Amino acid sequence: MVNVMKTDQEYLDLDKQLLWHPYTSMSKPSPHFLVEKASGCEITLNDGRTLIDGMSSWWSVIHGYNHPTINQAIQEQLAQFSHVMFGGLTHKPAIELAERLVAITPSELQRVFFSDSGSVSVEVALKMAIQYWNTQGKPNKQFFVTPKSGYHGDTFAAMSVCDPENGMHNLFSAALTQQYFISPPPTGLNEPVKTEYLEEIRKTFEDNHQRIAGFIIEPVVQNAGGMRFYNPEYLNQIRALCDEFDILLIFDEIATGFGRTGKLFATNHTHICPDIMCIGKALTGGYMTLAATLTNDKVALGISENDGVFMHGPTFMGNPLACAAANASLSLLSEYNIPEKITQLETWMKEALGPCEQLEQVKEIRCLGGIGVVELKNAVNLHEIQPKFVELGVWIRPFGKLIYLMPPYVISKEQISTLGKAIHQIASEQAC
């Protein structure tokens, strides 16, 4: 029997004893902070301290916490039903969400497959590509090309297309499918396209296209692999190469979707359309876990008119509560002037992070849309640095050499300024 009459410290002690948090040691865990409530862009801890959230809870809470519109949508759906299986049954929230997604994503993406998380949406995309080619009489096309410095999730197929050397999954390398890796896209949004990089891709395709099912990439921004920004023109050229060598193009928009790069989708920085696109994170406004894999008729009908069924079916696929939250989030998003709102956010972050450029410890400052990055010359110690940010009244979670911001879109200029001052102070204390 669980005793609910516990002190906050007892809860924290139990957390340390029982819960295995992400990317955390159980024997030497990083400090964890007990959240009492959250509203707007602030997280309130059990001891009364409030933290300005610079992370959007891993890039998902774009409208802030406890938003009345999304709250109401979930409550109304809860009063009807919270879940039904998606095999043989359907419901209006899922149908409405699919209709909305098809309307706002690139025009060729007309089919929607829901799943539980971003990582699973990548699994779905890879399975779609392999099954498609199997139905086309090309069963040897089982592998994928992807740039190094990429990140696509923590499940097995997704891990196989993450950076094999500097990523988080190299200890699993012997168990993973061995994919084809190319160099990461050259950095610089406005840097001229390097033909030698495209030639590397062409050579990989020429030598291996009979085995390659797809090319998967995070458009414009490689996120967890280093917050690297690159020229969208590379994607236009990659599309042409994929067409030439009969390879499906897959965009992972899990982190970049729903306005984060200054356009509704990073794909909108290009003039092309992928064959398959993965979305998640901000899809529900950060309320519930939900993702989607969108594809074109070529893939969807290519599978359906040959094999008949796509071999994937999550238990909580198309969860009605999550779909209701996503519909409400998209309604809120439609009220924003995304280019104007995110450009303003980018300007604020450039101003707030600008002073860090003078620090000897800092290698580079870069901002794009709702992403602000301070890259240090040396990696930080998360165990030590996280509590320091909390002491300064902000919630920022660095990784590696990067201290970065992906705040909610509703954040104020004053709150961004506070985040910037905290980063400047902490960065100045790091070793050169």
Annotated binding site for pyridoxal 5'-phosphate: 118-119, 252, 314-315
336 among known catalytic residues = no
11 among known catalytic residues = no
Q: Are strands 402-405 and 371-376 parallel, antiparallel or unpaired?
A: antiparallel
User: Roughly how many angstroms between the first and final C-alpha of the chain, as a whole number?
Assistant: 52
413 among known catalytic residues = no
Q: Which of 11, 13, 23, 363 is catalytic?
A: 23
Q: Which of 53, 116, 252, 275 is catalytic?
A: 252
Tell which residue, 370, 333, 378, 375, has the closest CA to residue 350.
370
> Binding site residues, as ranges?
58, 118-119, 151, 252, 281, 313-315, 397
252 among known catalytic residues = yes
Distances (CA, A) of 59 to 140, 176, 341: 37, 27, 16
Q: Which of 141, 148, 263, 281 is catalytic?
A: 281
Cα(93)–Cα(130) distance, rounded to whole angstroms?
30
Question: E strands along 190-310, which residues?
Answer: 212-217, 221-222, 228-229, 248-252, 276-279, 291-295
376 CB burial (10 A radius; 0-12, 13-18, 19+)? buried
The per-residue b/e assignment along 156-180, b for 16 or more CB within 10 angstroms, e otherwise, is: ebbbbbbbbeebebeeeeeebeebb
> Binding site residues for substrate, as ranges?
58, 151, 281, 313, 397
Tell which residue, 276, 279, 284, 281, has the closest CA to residue 300.
276
Q: Which of 132, 151, 197, 234 is catalytic?
A: 151
List active site positions: 23, 151, 252, 281
